[in-house]
Amino acid sequence: MLELKGLNGASIFIKEGSLEKIRPPYPFEDPAITVVEYGGGYLRTEESVAALLARLPNPPKMIKVTVPNGAERYINAGAITQLRTCAPENGTGSEMLVGSRYQHVRETVEKLVALIG
């Protein structure tokens, strides 16, 4: 189990396999936080993306992708259940289904397939 500390100092423990995304905050959020999304929830923490990735004891394969605004996301490859090219009204790039949420990224489907392996 992976221990995460929320902004209030409280700990939660999640199964590493339920980890879906690790991302920096949105532009309107405090830049010093990291957002961890996991099966059914999310947590904001002061731990950096690099520190979280470094301490995963049995790390799932995390792929680095770029969202439309240029920010990076780290996605658990095992949590991706669908890939598709974006519909024209959604812009360029691809959309992936991660857990139960779609994530729009700049990478092509072909690039994502190569990253996932």
Going from N- to C-terminal start, the domains of the chain cover 2-116
pLDDT at 53: 86
Q: Amino acid identity, residue 64?
A: K
DSSP of 12-31: EEE-GGGEEEEEPPPTTS-T
What b-and-e string marks burial along 36-50, b requiring 16 or more CB atoms within 10 Å of the CB?
Answer: bbbeeeebebebebe
Domain spanning 2-116: CATH 3.40.630.30: no
Task: List, for residues 62-96, the tens digit of each pLDDT value.
Answer: 999 999 989 999 999 989 999 999 988 888 899 99
Mean pLDDT of 9-37: 88
pTM, two decimals, is: 0.78
Give 14's strand partners.
Answer: 2
Stretch 23-30: mean pLDDT, rounded? Answer: 86
Residue 11 clears pLDDT 80, i.e. is over it: yes
